[in-house]
Structure 1
Amino acid sequence: MRILYLHQHFSTREGATGTRSLAMAEALAARGHAVTLACGQYAGAVSGLSGGFRRGRRKGMVGAVRVVEFAIPCGNAQGFAARGAAFLRYAVRAGGLALAGHWDLIIASSTPLTVALPALAARGLRGLPFLFEIRDPWPELPRAMGVGSPLLWQGLDLLADAACRRAAAVIALSEGMAATAVAHGAEPSRVAVVPNGCDLGLFGPGVAPWRPEGLAPETVLAVYAGAHGPANGLDQLLAAAALLQARGAPVTLLLVGEGGDKPRLTARAAAMGLTALRFLDPLPKPRLAGLLAGAQIGVQCLAPVPEFAEWTAPNKLMDYLAAGLPVVANLGGRAARLLEDDPLGRCGIATPPGDTPALAGALAALAADPGRRAALGAAARAQAEQRWDRRVLAERFCVVVEQSQGGAAGRALAPAGVRERSPRAA
Structure 2
Amino acid sequence: MEDGATRITIASRLFPPEPGAAAYRLGRLAAGLSRHGARVRVLTTLPPRSVRTRAVAGLDRDTRSGTPGAVTVRRWPVLRDSGGNVRGYIQFASFDGPLLARLLGTRSDLVVVEPPPTTGVAVRLVSRVKRIPYVYYAADVSSTAAAGIGINPAIVRVLTRVESWVMRGAAHVLAVSEGVATEVRALGVDPARVTVVGTGVDTDTFQPQASPDDQDVATLVYAGTMSEIHGAEVFVRAFGRIAAEHPGAELVMLGQGTERADLERLADSLAPGRVRFEGLVAAERVAQVLGSARAGLASVRPGKGYDFSFPTKMFASTACGTPVIYAGVGPGATVVRENDLGWAVDWDEAAVAEAMTMALARPVPAARRADLARWTTANASQDSVSERAVAAVLGVLHRAEEPFGDHGR
- Give yes or no for TM over 0.5: yes
Deviation at 1:245, TM superposition (A): 2.2
Equivalent in 355, 363, 366 of residue 356 of structure 2? 363
Change (3 A) 1:75 1:66: farther
Deviation at 1:206, TM superposition (A): 4.9
Q: Which residue of 2 aligns with 1:337?
A: 334
Q: Which residue of 2 aligns with 1:73?
A: 79
Deviations 1:367-410 (A, max 9, x none): 22557x66764443232111122222212111000111268888
Deviations 1:228-257 (A, max 9, x none): 333332322221112112444764221122
1:398 and 2:395 are equivalent in the alignment = no
Contact between 2:228 and 2:259, CA under 8 Å: does it hold in 1? Answer: yes
Contact between 1:340 and 1:349, CA under 8 Å: does it hold in 2? Answer: yes
Q: Where do 5+ consecutive residues of structure 1 fail to align?
A: 52-58, 212-216, 412-426
The letter of the residue matching 2:316 is D
Q: Distance in 1 between matches of 2:216 and 2:76?
A: 47
The letter of the residue matching 1:67 is V
**Superposed counterparts of 1:164-179, under 5 Å:** 164-179=167-182
Q: Which residue of 2 aligns with 1:184?
A: 187
SS in 2 for 1:198: coil
Deviations 1:80-116 (A, max 9, x none): 9x72122123222222222233211011111x22111
Q: Distance in 1 between matches of 2:250 and 2:272?
A: 10
Change (3 A) 1:403 1:241: same
Deviations 1:312-336 (A, max 9, x none): 2333222112101110011222111
Q: Which residue of 2 aligns with 1:214?
A: none
Q: Which residue of 1 aligns with 2:206?
A: 203
Q: Distance in 2 between matches of 1:383 and 1:287?
A: 22
Q: Distance in 1 between matches of 2:157 and 2:118?
A: 14
Q: Which residue of 2 aligns with 1:54?
A: none
Deviation at 1:77, TM superposition (A): 2.5
Change (3 A) 1:75 1:3: farther
Contact between 1:104 and 1:129, CA under 8 Å: does it hold in 2? Answer: yes
Change (3 A) 1:346 1:188: same
Deviation at 1:37, TM superposition (A): 0.5
Q: Which residue of 1 aligns with 2:324?
A: 327
Deviations 1:36-85 (A, max 9, x none): 1101235465495449xxxxxxx7554831111122133572799x7212
Equivalent in 2, 8, 31 of residue 3 of structure 1? 8
Deviations 1:308-360 (A, max 9, x none): 231x233322211210111001122211112112xxx311111112x110001
Q: Which residue of 2 aligns with 1:296?
A: 294
SS in 2 for 1:103: coil
Q: Distance in 2 between matches of 1:96 and 1:222?
A: 45
Q: Which residue of 2 aligns with 1:350?
A: 344
Change (3 A) 1:347 1:298: same
Contact between 1:219 and 1:252, CA under 8 Å: does it hold in 2? Answer: no
1:29 and 2:34 are equivalent in the alignment = yes
Change (3 A) 1:210 1:145: farther
Q: Distance in 1 between matches of 2:213 and 2:159?
A: 44
Change (3 A) 1:200 1:375: same
Aligned length: 388
Q: Which residue of 2 aligns with 1:86?
A: 91
Q: Distance in 2 between matches of 1:219 and 1:129?
A: 50
Contact between 2:143 and 2:160, CA under 8 Å: does it hold in 1? Answer: yes
Contact between 1:249 and 1:364, CA under 8 Å: does it hold in 2? Answer: no
Q: Which residue of 2 aligns with 1:279?
A: 277
Deviation at 1:8, TM superposition (A): 1.2
Q: Distance in 2 between matches of 1:10 and 1:149?
A: 31
SS in 2 for 1:271: helix
Change (3 A) 1:209 1:292: farther
Q: Distance in 1 between matches of 2:34 and 2:312?
A: 23
Deviation at 1:266, TM superposition (A): 2.0
SS in 1 for 2:46: strand
- Indicate the larger mover: 15-24 or 392-401: 15-24
Change (3 A) 1:197 1:249: same
1:233 and 2:231 are equivalent in the alignment = yes
Deviations 1:191-231 (A, max 9, x none): 111122222222223534787xxxxx996211111223333
Contact between 2:79 and 2:90, CA under 8 Å: does it hold in 1? Answer: no
Q: Distance in 2 between matches of 1:68 and 1:156?
A: 29
SS in 2 for 1:230: coil
Contact between 2:51 and 2:281, CA under 8 Å: does it hold in 1? Answer: no
Report percent identity of matched pairs. Answer: 22
Q: Distance in 1 between matches of 2:213 and 2:92?
A: 37
The letter of the residue matching 2:236 is L
SS in 2 for 1:158: helix
TM-score normalised per structure 2: 0.85
Change (3 A) 1:107 1:206: same
TM-score normalised per structure 1: 0.82
Contact between 1:347 and 1:376, CA under 8 Å: does it hold in 2? Answer: no
SS in 2 for 1:68: strand
Q: Distance in 2 between matches of 1:379 and 1:346?
A: 10
Change (3 A) 1:205 1:370: closer
Q: Which residue of 2 aligns with 1:40?
A: 45
Q: Distance in 1 between matches of 2:97 and 2:40?
A: 20
The letter of the residue matching 1:389 is S
Change (3 A) 1:240 1:210: farther
